[in-house]
Amino acid sequence: MPRKIAPGVFLVGGEGFSDPSDCLCYGLDLGAPVLIDCGAFPGSWTAIRKNLRQVGLAADQLHSLVLTHAHIDHAGAAARVVAETGCRVVAHALDADTLERGDRLRSAADWYQTELAPVRVDQKIQGEGESLAFPGGVLHLVHTPGHTPGSMCAWLEVDEGGTRQRVLFGQDVHGPFHPAFGSDREAHRASLRKLLALEADVLCEGHLGVFHGQDAVREFIEGYL
């Protein structure tokens, strides 16, 4: 069963929701359906699609798939998702090559003993990041290199009973780091400081769950500094 995190924000993939190897994947209602990361295998999409539909998001008309980085557990289903929905793929320029070539080492596909089906990145985010405008809101993308060169986080603001809540999709805040990924610990520390500066109310992590409250979010991020 998918889980509602905040208004228009749903946990739709990951252990307990789709394939256990999948990262946590988040469906957004931005007046158009948007998916943040899509799991490890083409088959992951079957459960994620069902979960999106269950929360009222038109999975077959997915508007955009935002890939926070090129790792297989986040991007392995991307080629299938594009083939079935025609969605636009958004990723940072520095991880785009890994996705477009289906690089087995850079994507960690070899760790999962599988292949990354190459997928075209329609919108390559440059530099420090960009803000994407949708009919129902804005999704801000922030370049947070460290785990991989083109890792990025996303955040948006939602209205929770009259209060603005900042929801941050930090994804692989926790790492890990490996030369094969092009990891950079120094860059990662700078990225964590960027995340702290956002003072998010909710942190949606890539594997370790969802953290509610500014204190809990800050403690989690500081734990990796």
Residue 172 binds to Zn ion (criterion: CB under 5 A): yes
Question: Of 9, 11, 12, 23, which one interacts with Zn ion (CB under 5 A)?
Answer: 23
What is the Cα–Cα distance from 39 to 14, expressed in whole angstroms? 7
Residue 73 binds to Zn ion (criterion: CB under 5 A): yes
- Strand partners for 140: 131, 155
User: With CB under 5 A as the contact rule, which of the stretches 77-85, 112-120, 164-172, 211-219 interacts with Zn ion?
Assistant: 164-172
User: With CB under 5 A as the contact rule, which of the stretches 86-94, 133-141, 169-177, 184-192 interacts with Zn ion?
Assistant: 169-177
Residue 22 binds to Zn ion (criterion: CB under 5 A): no
User: With CB under 5 A as the contact rule, which of the stretches 88-96, 122-130, 186-194, 199-207 interacts with Zn ion?
Assistant: 199-207
Closest approach, Cβ 42 to Zn ion, in A, equals: 17
Of the candidates 123, 28, 176, the one whose C-alpha atom is nearest the C-alpha of residue 37 is 28
Closest approach, Cβ 159 to Zn ion, in A, equals: 30
Residue 49 binds to Zn ion (criterion: CB under 5 A): no
Residue 19 or 172 having the CB closest to Zn ion: 172
Residue 205 binds to Zn ion (criterion: CB under 5 A): no
8 Å CB contact between 152 and 92? yes
Q: Which residues of 186-213 are buried (b: 16+ CB within 10 A; e: fewer)?
A: ebbeebbeebeebebbbbbbbeeebbee
Residue 152 binds to Zn ion (criterion: CB under 5 A): no
Residue 103 binds to Zn ion (criterion: CB under 5 A): no
Q: How many CA atoms lie within 13 A of 67 on its CB side?
A: 39
Q: Which amino acid is at 43?
A: G
- Farthest CA pair distance, the chain: 47
Closest approach, Cβ 201 to Zn ion, in A, equals: 23
Closest approach, Cβ 190 to Zn ion, in A, equals: 18
Q: Is 194 helix (H, G, I), strand (E, B) or coil?
A: helix
Of the candidates 5, 1, 37, the one whose C-alpha atom is nearest the C-alpha of residue 212 is 5
Residue 20 or 135 having the CB closest to Zn ion: 20
Cis before 33? omega within 30: no
Residue 71 binds to Zn ion (criterion: CB under 5 A): yes
* Residue whose Cβ sits closest to Zn ion: 71
**Is the four-CA dihedral 86, 52, 91, 32 of positive or negative sign?**
positive
Q: What residue ranges bind Zn ion (CB under 5 A)?
A: 23, 71, 73, 172, 206
